[in-house]
A = this chain, B = another copy of it.
Protein backbone atom coordinates (compact mmCIF):
# COMPACT_ATOMS: atom_id res chain seq x y z
CA UNK A 1 0.00 0.00 0.00
CA UNK A 2 1.45 3.31 -1.08
CA UNK A 3 -0.79 5.32 1.23
CA UNK A 4 -3.18 4.95 4.12
CA UNK A 5 -5.00 8.20 3.32
CA UNK A 6 -5.15 10.69 0.49
CA UNK A 7 -3.98 14.30 0.75
CA UNK A 8 -7.45 15.76 1.20
CA UNK A 9 -8.96 13.81 4.06
CA UNK A 10 -6.92 14.26 7.24
CA UNK A 11 -8.23 16.64 9.88
CA UNK A 12 -8.16 17.23 13.64
CA UNK A 13 -9.95 13.95 14.28
CA UNK A 14 -6.84 12.12 13.02
CA UNK A 15 -4.36 13.74 15.44
CA UNK A 16 -1.79 11.23 16.71
CA UNK A 17 -2.64 8.76 13.93
CA UNK A 18 0.27 7.17 12.06
CA UNK A 19 -0.33 7.70 8.35
CA UNK A 20 1.29 7.04 5.01
CA UNK A 21 0.76 9.59 2.24
CA UNK A 22 1.95 9.84 -1.34
CA UNK A 23 1.76 12.67 -3.81
CA UNK A 24 3.51 15.56 -5.49
CA UNK A 25 5.56 18.30 -3.86
CA UNK A 26 3.51 21.44 -4.47
CA UNK A 27 6.03 23.64 -2.70
CA UNK A 28 8.55 23.52 0.08
CA UNK A 29 9.62 26.21 2.56
CA UNK A 30 13.03 25.70 4.06
CA UNK A 31 13.62 27.66 7.29
CA UNK A 32 16.92 25.99 8.09
CA UNK A 33 15.95 24.03 11.19
CA UNK A 34 12.43 23.46 9.91
CA UNK A 35 11.16 22.46 6.49
CA UNK A 36 7.53 22.50 5.41
CA UNK A 37 6.35 20.72 2.29
CA UNK A 38 2.88 20.95 0.73
CA UNK A 39 2.04 17.49 -0.53
CA UNK A 40 -0.58 17.43 -3.29
CA UNK A 41 -2.74 14.78 -4.88
CA UNK A 42 -6.08 14.86 -6.71
CA UNK A 43 -7.95 15.18 -3.41
CA UNK A 44 -6.13 18.06 -1.77
CA UNK A 45 -3.01 19.33 -0.08
CA UNK A 46 -1.55 18.20 3.24
CA UNK A 47 1.29 20.01 4.97
CA UNK A 48 4.33 17.94 5.92
CA UNK A 49 6.82 19.09 8.51
CA UNK A 50 10.46 18.06 8.73
CA UNK A 51 11.97 19.31 11.99
CA UNK A 52 15.69 19.17 12.74
CA UNK A 53 14.85 18.48 16.39
CA UNK A 54 12.19 15.85 15.89
CA UNK A 55 12.99 14.20 12.52
CA UNK A 56 15.74 11.69 11.82
CA UNK A 57 18.79 13.35 10.33
CA UNK A 58 18.70 11.40 7.02
CA UNK A 59 15.02 12.17 6.54
CA UNK A 60 15.56 15.82 7.39
CA UNK A 61 18.46 16.11 4.97
CA UNK A 62 16.63 14.26 2.18
CA UNK A 63 13.68 16.63 2.51
CA UNK A 64 15.99 19.51 1.65
CA UNK A 65 16.61 17.94 -1.78
CA UNK A 66 12.95 17.87 -2.78
CA UNK A 67 12.03 19.98 -5.77
CA UNK A 68 8.64 20.98 -7.11
CA UNK A 69 6.62 18.10 -8.57
CA UNK A 70 8.80 15.38 -7.05
CA UNK A 71 6.69 12.33 -6.30
CA UNK A 72 7.22 11.18 -2.73
CA UNK A 73 5.87 8.81 -0.13
CA UNK A 74 6.00 9.73 3.55
CA UNK A 75 5.13 8.07 6.83
CA UNK A 76 4.50 10.16 9.88
CA UNK A 77 2.20 11.27 12.66
CA UNK A 78 -0.74 13.62 12.29
CA UNK A 79 -0.16 16.57 14.64
CA UNK A 80 -2.00 19.77 15.32
CA UNK A 81 -0.77 22.67 13.25
CA UNK A 82 0.33 25.82 15.03
CA UNK A 83 -0.69 28.27 12.34
CA UNK A 84 -3.99 26.86 11.13
CA UNK A 85 -5.16 27.41 7.55
CA UNK A 86 -8.94 27.81 7.51
CA UNK A 87 -9.02 27.79 3.70
CA UNK A 88 -8.37 24.08 3.22
CA UNK A 89 -10.01 21.02 4.85
CA UNK A 90 -6.63 19.73 6.09
CA UNK A 91 -5.64 23.12 7.47
CA UNK A 92 -5.83 22.15 11.14
CA UNK A 93 -3.15 19.50 10.96
CA UNK A 94 0.25 18.66 9.55
CA UNK A 95 2.30 15.47 9.30
CA UNK A 96 5.48 15.15 11.32
CA UNK A 97 7.42 12.97 8.92
CA UNK A 98 9.39 9.96 10.14
CA UNK A 99 10.16 8.37 6.79
CA UNK A 100 10.54 9.80 3.29
CA UNK A 101 10.94 7.99 0.00
CA UNK A 102 11.41 9.77 -3.31
CA UNK A 103 9.31 7.68 -5.70
CA UNK A 104 10.21 9.75 -8.73
CA UNK A 105 12.23 12.91 -9.08
CA UNK A 106 10.97 15.64 -11.41
CA UNK A 107 12.65 18.11 -13.70
CA UNK A 108 11.35 21.67 -13.58
CA UNK A 109 7.94 21.90 -15.26
CA UNK A 110 7.72 24.31 -18.22
CA UNK A 111 4.98 26.31 -16.45
CA UNK A 112 3.82 26.68 -12.88
CA UNK A 113 1.34 24.10 -11.59
CA UNK A 114 -0.91 26.70 -9.99
CA UNK A 115 -4.53 27.75 -10.47
CA UNK A 116 -3.21 30.86 -12.23
CA UNK A 117 -0.37 29.52 -14.34
CA UNK A 118 2.30 31.42 -16.23
CA UNK A 119 1.96 28.95 -19.13
CA UNK A 120 0.41 30.04 -22.43
CA UNK A 121 -2.14 27.94 -24.34
CA UNK A 122 0.41 26.29 -26.63
CA UNK A 123 2.80 25.08 -23.97
CA UNK A 124 -0.08 23.92 -21.76
CA UNK A 125 -1.37 21.80 -24.65
CA UNK A 126 2.03 20.30 -25.39
CA UNK A 127 2.37 19.27 -21.76
CA UNK A 128 -1.31 18.66 -21.21
CA UNK A 129 -0.55 16.00 -18.54
CA UNK A 130 1.01 18.78 -16.44
CA UNK A 131 -1.88 21.13 -17.19
CA UNK A 132 -4.27 18.47 -15.87
CA UNK A 133 -2.51 18.67 -12.51
CA UNK A 134 -3.82 22.21 -12.15
CA UNK A 135 -7.11 22.55 -10.25
CA UNK A 136 -9.06 24.40 -12.99
CA UNK A 137 -8.46 21.63 -15.53
CA UNK A 138 -8.63 18.72 -13.09
CA UNK A 139 -11.88 20.01 -11.62
CA UNK A 140 -13.36 20.52 -15.08
CA UNK A 141 -12.72 16.86 -15.91
CA UNK A 142 -14.18 15.69 -12.60
CA UNK A 143 -17.16 17.96 -13.23
CA UNK A 144 -17.67 16.49 -16.68
CA UNK A 145 -17.70 12.98 -15.20
CA UNK A 146 -20.29 14.05 -12.64
CA UNK A 147 -22.56 15.51 -15.32
CA UNK A 148 -22.23 12.42 -17.52
CA UNK A 149 -23.04 10.13 -14.58
CA UNK A 150 -26.13 12.16 -13.68
CA UNK A 151 -27.32 12.06 -17.28
CA UNK A 152 -26.90 8.30 -17.41
CA UNK A 153 -28.64 7.75 -14.08
CA UNK A 154 -31.55 10.00 -14.97
CA UNK A 155 -32.17 8.45 -18.37
CA UNK A 156 -31.54 4.92 -17.18
CA UNK A 157 -34.09 5.37 -14.40
CA UNK A 158 -36.59 6.38 -17.09
CA UNK A 159 -35.99 3.06 -18.94
CA UNK A 160 -33.69 4.54 -21.56
CA UNK A 161 -31.21 1.93 -22.73
CA UNK A 162 -27.70 3.00 -23.70
CA UNK A 163 -26.81 1.23 -26.93
CA UNK A 164 -23.40 1.47 -28.54
CA UNK A 165 -23.68 2.18 -32.24
CA UNK A 166 -20.77 1.52 -34.62
CA UNK A 167 -17.91 3.94 -35.30
CA UNK A 168 -16.97 2.42 -38.63
CA UNK A 169 -19.92 3.32 -40.80
CA UNK A 170 -20.68 4.55 -44.30
CA UNK A 171 -19.73 7.86 -45.84
CA UNK A 172 -22.56 10.02 -47.16
CA UNK A 173 -22.12 13.27 -49.04
CA UNK A 174 -24.99 14.95 -47.11
CA UNK A 175 -24.07 17.25 -44.23
CA UNK A 176 -20.55 18.08 -43.09
CA UNK A 177 -17.39 16.45 -44.41
CA UNK A 178 -16.70 12.90 -43.13
CA UNK A 179 -13.50 11.55 -41.71
CA UNK A 180 -12.89 8.32 -43.62
CA UNK A 181 -11.01 5.12 -42.87
CA UNK A 182 -9.60 3.05 -45.73
CA UNK A 183 -10.52 -0.63 -45.51
CA UNK A 184 -7.72 -3.14 -45.89
CA UNK A 185 -10.04 -6.10 -46.35
CA UNK A 186 -12.41 -4.38 -48.76
CA UNK A 187 -10.11 -3.00 -51.42
CA UNK A 188 -10.74 0.56 -52.57
CA UNK A 189 -13.52 1.05 -50.04
CA UNK A 190 -13.76 3.30 -47.02
CA UNK A 191 -15.57 3.47 -43.74
CA UNK A 192 -16.62 6.86 -42.38
CA UNK A 193 -16.57 7.95 -38.77
CA UNK A 194 -20.07 8.98 -37.67
CA UNK A 195 -21.06 12.64 -37.63
CA UNK A 196 -23.82 11.39 -35.37
CA UNK A 197 -25.51 8.02 -34.84
CA UNK A 198 -28.66 9.43 -36.49
CA UNK A 199 -29.64 6.57 -38.77
CA UNK A 200 -28.65 3.92 -36.23
CA UNK A 201 -30.79 5.40 -33.51
CA UNK A 202 -33.70 5.53 -35.92
CA UNK A 203 -33.10 1.88 -36.78
CA UNK A 204 -33.11 1.09 -33.06
CA UNK A 205 -36.56 2.64 -32.93
CA UNK A 206 -37.62 0.48 -35.88
CA UNK A 207 -36.13 -2.37 -33.86
CA UNK A 208 -38.42 -1.63 -30.94
CA UNK A 209 -35.80 -0.39 -28.43
CA UNK A 210 -38.33 2.29 -27.54
CA UNK A 211 -36.04 4.58 -25.55
CA UNK A 212 -32.40 4.89 -26.53
CA UNK A 213 -29.55 7.08 -25.44
CA UNK A 214 -25.82 7.11 -25.84
CA UNK A 215 -23.02 9.36 -24.75
CA UNK A 216 -20.95 9.06 -27.87
CA UNK A 217 -18.07 10.59 -29.81
CA UNK A 218 -18.94 12.15 -33.15
CA UNK A 219 -16.63 13.42 -35.88
CA UNK A 220 -16.70 16.27 -38.37
CA UNK A 221 -13.87 17.12 -40.71
CA UNK A 222 -14.61 20.83 -40.86
CA UNK A 223 -12.31 23.82 -40.82
CA UNK A 224 -12.06 24.49 -37.16
CA UNK A 225 -13.37 27.72 -35.83
CA UNK A 226 -12.31 28.66 -32.35
CA UNK A 227 -13.78 26.32 -29.77
CA UNK A 228 -14.74 23.60 -32.24
CA UNK A 229 -13.17 20.18 -32.11
CA UNK A 230 -12.95 17.57 -34.91
CA UNK A 231 -14.17 14.99 -32.38
CA UNK A 232 -16.86 15.95 -29.93
CA UNK A 233 -19.27 14.22 -27.62
CA UNK A 234 -23.03 14.01 -27.88
CA UNK A 235 -25.72 12.87 -25.52
CA UNK A 236 -27.74 11.21 -28.23
CA UNK A 237 -31.37 10.27 -27.53
CA UNK A 238 -34.34 8.82 -29.36
CA UNK A 239 -37.83 7.69 -28.36
CA UNK A 240 -40.60 5.80 -30.13
CA UNK A 241 -44.34 6.50 -29.94
CA UNK A 242 -43.81 10.13 -29.00
CA UNK A 243 -44.89 13.54 -30.11
CA UNK A 244 -42.81 16.67 -29.78
CA UNK A 245 -44.50 17.48 -26.49
CA UNK A 246 -43.31 14.20 -24.89
CA UNK A 247 -39.72 14.82 -25.94
CA UNK A 248 -39.66 18.40 -24.72
CA UNK A 249 -41.00 17.28 -21.34
CA UNK A 250 -38.52 14.45 -20.87
CA UNK A 251 -35.44 16.46 -21.76
CA UNK A 252 -36.57 19.56 -19.99
CA UNK A 253 -36.80 17.25 -17.00
CA UNK A 254 -33.25 16.04 -17.58
CA UNK A 255 -31.88 19.57 -17.81
CA UNK A 256 -33.81 20.71 -14.77
CA UNK A 257 -32.45 17.67 -12.89
CA UNK A 258 -28.87 18.54 -13.87
CA UNK A 259 -29.27 22.16 -12.84
CA UNK A 260 -30.65 21.08 -9.50
CA UNK A 261 -28.27 18.20 -8.74
CA UNK A 262 -25.11 19.73 -10.12
CA UNK A 263 -25.63 23.44 -9.59
CA UNK A 264 -28.28 23.55 -6.87
CA UNK A 265 -30.37 25.79 -9.12
CA UNK A 266 -34.14 25.42 -9.44
CA UNK A 267 -35.59 26.70 -12.71
CA UNK A 268 -39.18 27.27 -13.77
CA UNK A 269 -40.84 25.56 -16.69
CA UNK A 270 -38.80 26.46 -19.76
CA UNK A 271 -40.26 29.19 -21.94
CA UNK A 272 -41.05 28.02 -25.47
CA UNK A 273 -40.72 30.42 -28.34
CA UNK A 274 -40.93 29.87 -32.06
CA UNK A 275 -37.97 30.22 -34.36
CA UNK A 276 -39.80 33.08 -35.99
CA UNK A 277 -40.32 34.88 -32.69
CA UNK A 278 -36.70 34.28 -31.68
CA UNK A 279 -35.40 35.79 -34.89
CA UNK A 280 -37.68 38.81 -34.67
CA UNK A 281 -37.15 39.39 -30.96
CA UNK A 282 -33.49 38.53 -30.50
CA UNK A 283 -32.15 38.34 -34.08
CA UNK A 284 -30.92 34.92 -33.21
CA UNK A 285 -32.20 31.36 -32.89
CA UNK A 286 -30.32 30.80 -29.64
CA UNK A 287 -31.17 33.87 -27.60
CA UNK A 288 -29.63 34.58 -24.24
CA UNK A 289 -32.64 35.45 -22.11
CA UNK A 290 -30.79 36.08 -18.87
CA UNK A 291 -31.47 39.71 -19.76
CA UNK A 292 -34.01 41.70 -21.75
CA UNK A 293 -33.12 44.14 -24.53
CA UNK A 294 -35.76 42.63 -26.77
CA UNK A 295 -35.92 44.03 -30.27
CA UNK A 296 -38.49 46.72 -30.97
CA UNK A 297 -39.44 47.07 -34.65
CA UNK A 298 -39.72 50.73 -35.45
CA UNK A 299 -40.76 50.73 -39.12
CA UNK A 300 -44.24 52.10 -38.42
CA UNK A 301 -42.99 54.96 -36.28
CA UNK A 302 -39.58 55.70 -37.83
CA UNK A 303 -40.38 55.49 -41.50
CA UNK A 304 -42.30 58.02 -43.63
CA UNK A 305 -40.46 60.84 -41.88
CA UNK A 306 -37.61 62.88 -43.30
CA UNK A 307 -34.77 60.46 -42.52
CA UNK A 308 -33.84 58.84 -45.85
CA UNK A 309 -31.72 56.04 -44.33
CA UNK A 310 -34.67 54.62 -42.40
CA UNK A 311 -37.11 55.25 -45.19
CA UNK A 312 -35.01 53.17 -47.55
CA UNK A 313 -34.58 50.29 -45.10
CA UNK A 314 -36.49 47.03 -45.09
CA UNK A 315 -36.27 46.99 -41.29
CA UNK A 316 -35.69 49.60 -38.61
CA UNK A 317 -35.13 47.92 -35.29
CA UNK A 318 -33.85 49.00 -31.89
CA UNK A 319 -33.05 47.88 -28.39
CA UNK A 320 -33.22 49.71 -25.07
CA UNK A 321 -29.97 49.28 -23.18
CA UNK A 322 -30.51 49.55 -19.43
CA UNK A 323 -28.36 52.10 -17.69
CA UNK A 324 -26.57 53.11 -20.86
CA UNK A 325 -28.16 56.54 -20.90
CA UNK A 326 -25.03 58.04 -19.42
CA UNK A 327 -22.67 56.78 -22.12
CA UNK A 328 -20.34 59.56 -23.21
CA UNK A 329 -20.16 60.73 -26.79
CA UNK A 330 -16.79 58.96 -27.00
CA UNK A 331 -18.23 55.67 -25.75
CA UNK A 332 -21.09 55.91 -28.22
CA UNK A 333 -18.72 56.64 -31.10
CA UNK A 334 -16.64 53.63 -30.10
CA UNK A 335 -19.78 51.51 -30.14
CA UNK A 336 -20.73 52.81 -33.56
CA UNK A 337 -17.26 51.87 -34.76
CA UNK A 338 -17.79 48.46 -33.18
CA UNK A 339 -20.99 47.75 -35.18
CA UNK A 340 -19.28 49.00 -38.34
CA UNK A 341 -16.46 46.48 -38.03
CA UNK A 342 -16.55 43.91 -40.87
CA UNK A 343 -17.39 41.14 -38.33
CA UNK A 344 -20.67 42.94 -37.56
CA UNK A 345 -21.11 44.88 -40.76
CA UNK A 346 -23.60 47.65 -39.94
CA UNK A 347 -23.29 50.81 -42.00
CA UNK A 348 -24.13 53.08 -39.08
CA UNK A 349 -26.16 53.34 -35.91
CA UNK A 350 -28.71 55.77 -34.54
CA UNK A 351 -29.10 56.31 -30.82
CA UNK A 352 -31.56 58.02 -28.53
CA UNK A 353 -30.86 58.74 -24.92
CA UNK A 354 -33.76 58.59 -22.42
CA UNK A 355 -33.20 61.43 -20.01
CA UNK A 356 -34.24 61.26 -16.37
CA UNK A 357 -36.77 64.06 -16.95
CA UNK A 358 -38.62 62.07 -19.61
CA UNK A 359 -37.13 63.90 -22.56
CA UNK A 360 -34.96 62.35 -25.27
CA UNK A 361 -31.71 63.28 -26.95
CA UNK A 362 -31.01 61.45 -30.20
CA UNK A 363 -28.52 61.48 -33.03
CA UNK A 364 -31.41 62.11 -35.40
CA UNK A 365 -33.11 65.01 -33.63
CA UNK A 366 -33.20 66.75 -37.00
CA UNK A 367 -35.77 64.20 -38.24
CA UNK A 368 -37.62 63.06 -35.14
CA UNK A 369 -39.37 65.07 -32.46
CA UNK A 370 -39.89 64.14 -28.82
CA UNK A 371 -43.21 62.43 -29.53
CA UNK A 372 -41.58 60.28 -32.19
CA UNK A 373 -38.84 59.30 -29.80
CA UNK A 374 -41.35 58.57 -27.03
CA UNK A 375 -42.87 56.02 -29.38
CA UNK A 376 -39.47 54.46 -29.96
CA UNK A 377 -39.10 54.20 -26.19
CA UNK A 378 -42.51 52.65 -25.83
CA UNK A 379 -41.84 50.00 -28.49
CA UNK A 380 -38.37 49.09 -27.25
CA UNK A 381 -39.44 49.27 -23.60
CA UNK A 382 -36.91 51.98 -22.76
CA UNK A 383 -37.16 53.83 -19.47
CA UNK A 384 -35.35 56.85 -18.05
CA UNK A 385 -31.60 56.22 -17.96
CA UNK A 386 -31.64 53.82 -20.92
CA UNK A 387 -30.08 54.31 -24.30
CA UNK A 388 -31.94 53.17 -27.43
CA UNK A 389 -29.72 51.93 -30.25
CA UNK A 390 -31.29 51.56 -33.68
CA UNK A 391 -30.04 49.75 -36.76
CA UNK A 392 -31.63 49.59 -40.19
CA UNK A 393 -31.22 47.75 -43.46
CA UNK A 394 -32.19 44.41 -44.97
CA UNK A 395 -34.27 42.56 -42.33
CA UNK A 396 -32.17 39.41 -41.76
CA UNK A 397 -28.80 41.11 -41.82
CA UNK A 398 -29.95 43.93 -39.58
CA UNK A 399 -31.34 41.51 -37.01
CA UNK A 400 -28.05 39.63 -36.97
CA UNK A 401 -26.15 42.87 -36.47
CA UNK A 402 -28.41 44.04 -33.66
CA UNK A 403 -28.14 40.63 -32.06
CA UNK A 404 -24.34 40.96 -32.01
CA UNK A 405 -24.66 44.40 -30.43
CA UNK A 406 -27.17 43.10 -27.87
CA UNK A 407 -24.77 40.33 -26.79
CA UNK A 408 -21.78 42.65 -26.72
CA UNK A 409 -23.56 45.21 -24.56
CA UNK A 410 -24.87 42.53 -22.22
CA UNK A 411 -21.31 41.27 -21.75
CA UNK A 412 -20.04 44.78 -21.11
CA UNK A 413 -22.87 45.48 -18.67
CA UNK A 414 -22.18 42.23 -16.77
CA UNK A 415 -25.61 40.82 -17.63
CA UNK A 416 -24.27 37.44 -18.78
CA UNK A 417 -23.74 36.05 -15.33
CA UNK A 418 -22.10 32.59 -15.54
CA UNK A 419 -23.89 31.30 -12.46
CA UNK A 420 -27.36 32.36 -13.67
CA UNK A 421 -29.17 29.87 -15.89
CA UNK A 422 -31.96 30.75 -18.32
CA UNK A 423 -32.93 27.76 -20.45
CA UNK A 424 -35.64 27.81 -23.10
CA UNK A 425 -36.99 25.90 -26.08
CA UNK A 426 -36.99 27.30 -29.58
CA UNK A 427 -39.55 25.39 -31.67
CA UNK A 428 -41.06 25.39 -35.16
CA UNK A 429 -37.80 25.65 -37.07
CA UNK A 430 -38.08 25.92 -40.83
CA UNK A 431 -37.72 22.54 -42.52
CA UNK A 432 -35.48 23.84 -45.27
CA UNK A 433 -33.09 26.66 -45.87
CA UNK A 434 -32.06 27.98 -49.23
CA UNK A 435 -28.40 27.66 -50.03
CA UNK A 436 -27.26 30.41 -52.41
CA UNK A 437 -24.12 28.57 -53.38
CA UNK A 438 -25.73 25.34 -54.57
CA UNK A 439 -28.91 27.11 -55.62
CA UNK A 440 -31.13 24.61 -53.81
CA UNK A 441 -32.81 23.95 -50.52
CA UNK A 442 -30.96 22.07 -47.78
CA UNK A 443 -32.42 20.41 -44.72
CA UNK A 444 -32.04 22.87 -41.85
CA UNK A 445 -31.78 20.08 -39.24
CA UNK A 446 -31.25 16.95 -41.36
CA UNK A 447 -33.14 15.12 -44.11
CA UNK A 448 -34.91 12.83 -41.61
CA UNK A 449 -36.83 15.64 -39.94
CA UNK A 450 -40.58 15.56 -40.32
CA UNK A 451 -42.39 18.55 -41.77
CA UNK A 452 -45.34 19.68 -39.70
CA UNK A 453 -48.34 17.79 -41.13
CA UNK A 454 -50.29 21.01 -41.49
CA UNK A 455 -47.50 22.55 -43.64
CA UNK A 456 -46.97 19.47 -45.76
CA UNK A 457 -49.10 20.83 -48.62
CA UNK A 458 -46.75 23.82 -48.99
CA UNK A 459 -43.73 21.68 -49.83
CA UNK A 460 -44.35 21.91 -53.57
CA UNK A 461 -45.39 25.52 -53.74
CA UNK A 462 -43.50 27.38 -51.02
CA UNK A 463 -40.89 25.10 -49.46
CA UNK A 464 -39.13 27.93 -47.64
CA UNK A 465 -42.00 28.53 -45.22
CA UNK A 466 -42.68 24.88 -44.35
CA UNK A 467 -42.09 24.41 -40.64
CA UNK A 468 -40.60 21.29 -39.12
CA UNK A 469 -41.29 19.48 -35.90
CA UNK A 470 -37.82 20.53 -34.88
CA UNK A 471 -36.65 22.14 -31.66
CA UNK A 472 -33.54 23.41 -29.95
CA UNK A 473 -32.81 23.70 -26.27
CA UNK A 474 -31.00 26.95 -25.62
CA UNK A 475 -29.11 27.82 -22.46
CA UNK A 476 -27.53 31.22 -21.86
CA UNK A 477 -27.19 32.03 -25.54
CA UNK A 478 -25.93 28.61 -26.58
CA UNK A 479 -27.71 25.85 -28.42
CA UNK A 480 -27.06 22.94 -26.09
CA UNK A 481 -29.41 20.45 -27.69
CA UNK A 482 -31.52 20.03 -30.77
CA UNK A 483 -33.71 17.47 -32.36
CA UNK A 484 -36.86 16.68 -34.23
CA UNK A 485 -39.71 14.34 -34.82
CA UNK A 486 -38.57 12.11 -37.67
CA UNK A 487 -40.17 10.93 -40.83
CA UNK A 488 -41.18 7.30 -40.26
CA UNK A 489 -42.65 6.21 -43.57
CA UNK A 490 -40.89 5.42 -46.79
CA UNK A 491 -43.03 7.63 -49.02
CA UNK A 492 -42.47 10.84 -47.08
CA UNK A 493 -38.77 10.08 -46.78
CA UNK A 494 -38.52 9.52 -50.53
CA UNK A 495 -40.35 12.77 -51.14
CA UNK A 496 -38.00 14.60 -48.81
CA UNK A 497 -34.92 13.33 -50.63
CA UNK A 498 -36.53 14.43 -53.87
CA UNK A 499 -37.09 17.96 -52.56
CA UNK A 500 -33.49 18.03 -51.37
CA UNK A 501 -32.30 17.31 -54.89
CA UNK A 502 -31.37 13.64 -54.55
CA UNK A 503 -32.01 11.47 -57.57
CA UNK A 504 -33.97 8.32 -56.79
CA UNK A 505 -30.78 6.27 -57.33
CA UNK A 506 -28.73 8.46 -54.98
CA UNK A 507 -31.33 8.32 -52.25
CA UNK A 508 -31.50 4.55 -52.57
CA UNK A 509 -27.72 4.07 -52.61
CA UNK A 510 -27.16 6.18 -49.54
CA UNK A 511 -30.23 5.71 -47.42
CA UNK A 512 -31.98 2.73 -49.00
CA UNK A 513 -31.43 0.67 -45.84
CA UNK A 514 -33.34 3.25 -43.78
CA UNK A 515 -36.24 3.53 -46.20
CA UNK A 516 -36.38 -0.25 -46.45
CA UNK A 517 -36.51 -0.43 -42.67
CA UNK A 518 -39.50 1.94 -42.60
CA UNK A 519 -41.47 -0.60 -44.65
CA UNK A 520 -41.29 -3.20 -41.92
CA UNK A 521 -43.37 -1.29 -39.41
CA UNK A 522 -41.56 1.80 -38.16
CA UNK A 523 -43.12 3.49 -35.16
CA UNK A 524 -43.51 7.26 -34.98
CA UNK A 525 -40.34 8.49 -33.31
CA UNK A 526 -38.19 11.46 -32.53
CA UNK A 527 -35.31 12.55 -30.40
CA UNK A 528 -32.58 15.00 -29.81
CA UNK A 529 -28.90 15.32 -29.10
CA UNK A 530 -27.09 17.48 -26.60
CA UNK A 531 -23.54 18.68 -27.14
CA UNK A 532 -21.91 17.41 -23.98
CA UNK A 533 -18.73 19.49 -24.28
CA UNK A 534 -20.71 22.72 -24.48
CA UNK A 535 -23.26 21.65 -21.88
CA UNK A 536 -20.64 20.93 -19.21
CA UNK A 537 -18.76 24.13 -20.04
CA UNK A 538 -21.90 26.23 -19.56
CA UNK A 539 -22.92 24.37 -16.41
CA UNK A 540 -19.35 24.93 -15.23
CA UNK A 541 -19.78 28.64 -15.86
CA UNK A 542 -17.14 28.75 -18.62
CA UNK A 543 -17.17 30.19 -22.11
CA UNK A 544 -14.79 27.71 -23.74
CA UNK A 545 -14.99 23.94 -23.95
CA UNK A 546 -11.27 23.20 -24.10
CA UNK A 547 -10.65 22.70 -20.40
CA UNK A 548 -13.53 20.23 -20.25
CA UNK A 549 -11.81 17.95 -22.77
CA UNK A 550 -8.86 15.97 -21.47
CA UNK A 551 -6.80 16.00 -24.65
CA UNK A 552 -8.18 18.57 -27.09
CA UNK A 553 -6.83 19.31 -30.55
CA UNK A 554 -5.68 22.69 -31.75
CA UNK A 555 -7.24 24.70 -34.58
CA UNK A 556 -5.34 22.71 -37.20
CA UNK A 557 -6.77 19.51 -35.81
CA UNK A 558 -3.42 18.54 -34.28
CA UNK A 559 -2.75 16.90 -30.97
CA UNK A 560 0.48 18.73 -30.18
CA UNK A 561 1.21 16.53 -27.17
CA UNK A 562 1.49 13.24 -29.05
CA UNK A 563 2.22 14.99 -32.36
CA UNK A 564 -0.68 13.57 -34.36
CA UNK A 565 -1.55 13.23 -37.17
CA UNK A 566 1.75 11.98 -38.56
CA UNK A 567 3.22 10.26 -41.58
CA UNK A 568 2.74 6.50 -41.88
CA UNK A 569 4.99 4.16 -43.78
CA UNK A 570 4.45 3.01 -47.34
CA UNK A 571 3.89 -0.65 -46.41
CA UNK A 572 0.93 0.48 -44.33
CA UNK A 573 -0.41 2.56 -47.24
CA UNK A 574 0.05 -0.35 -49.62
CA UNK A 575 -1.92 -2.67 -47.37
CA UNK A 576 -4.72 -0.12 -47.39
CA UNK A 577 -4.67 0.11 -51.20
CA UNK A 578 -3.99 3.84 -51.22
CA UNK A 579 -1.08 6.15 -52.01
CA UNK A 580 -0.36 9.76 -51.25
CA UNK A 581 -1.50 12.39 -53.74
CA UNK A 582 0.30 15.54 -52.66
Q: Which residues of A contact B (CB under 8 A)?
A: 1-3, 6, 22-24, 40-43, 69-71, 73, 103-107, 109, 127-133, 138, 141-142, 144-145, 148-149, 152, 156, 161-171, 173, 177-193, 199-200, 203-204, 206-211, 217, 219, 221, 223, 230-231, 233, 241-243, 245-246, 488-489, 513, 517-524, 549-551, 553, 556-559, 561-569, 572-582
Name the residue in A127, A148, A177, A582 with the highest tally of chain B Cβ atoms < 10 Å from its Cβ. Answer: A127
| Contact flag A207-B130 (CB < 8 Å), given A104-B489, A164-B217, A188-B580 | yes
A522→B132 CA distance, assembly (Å): 13
A-B contacts, 21 of them at CB < 8 A, read: A1-B243, A41-B241, A70-B521, A71-B521, A104-B488, A106-B519, A130-B520, A131-B207, A141-B161, A144-B163, A145-B162, A171-B572, A177-B184, A181-B565, A182-B578, A185-B557, A189-B566, A190-B568, A192-B564, A217-B217, A513-B563
Among A107, A163, A187, A569, residue most surrounded by chain B Cβ atoms (within 10 Å): A163
Q: Which residues of B contact A549 (CB under 8 A)?
A: 164
Chain A binding surface SS class: loop
Shortest C-beta distance, A41 to chain B (Å), equals 6
Interchain residue pairs A-B with the least CB separation, the first 4:
A132-B207, A106-B521, A170-B564, A189-B565
Assess the B575–A581 pair: CB atoms within 8 A. no
Q: How distant is the Cα of A553 from the Cα of B165 in the complex, in angstroms? A: 11
Residues of B within 8 A of A131 (CB): 207
A156–B145 touching, CB < 8 Å? yes
Contacts of A182 in B (CB 8 A): 180, 182, 578
- Whose C-beta in chain B lies nearest to the C-beta of A245? B1
Given contacts A169-B564, A181-B180, A578-B579, contact A233 B141 (CB under 8 A): no
Please report the C-alpha to C-alpha distance between residue A182 and residue B181 in the assembled complex, in whole angstroms. Answer: 7
* Chain B min CB distance to A577 (Å): 5
User: Given the interface contacts A191-B564, A576-B180, does A207 sit within 8 Å of B105 by beta carbon?
Assistant: no
Q: Is the CB of B565 within 8 A of A520?
A: no
Q: Which residue of B lies closest to A580 (CB)?
A: B188
In the docked arrangement, what's the CA distance between A538 and B17, Å? 45
Query: A158 CB to closest chain B CB, in angstroms?
Result: 12
Q: A128–B513 Cα gap in the complex (Å)?
A: 11
Task: Say whether B564 contacts A207, CB under 8 Å.
Answer: no
- In the complex, chain B residues whose CB is within 8 Å of the CB of A243: 1-2
* Residue pair B577, A580 in contact (C-beta under 8 Å): yes
- The answer, among B3, B180, B199, for a CB contact under 8 Å with A572, is B180
Contact between A203 and B3, CB atoms less than 8 A apart? no
Judge whether B566 and A170 touch: CB under 8 Å.
Answer: yes
| Chain B residues positioned under 8 Å from A520 (CB to CB) | 69, 106-107, 109, 127, 129-130
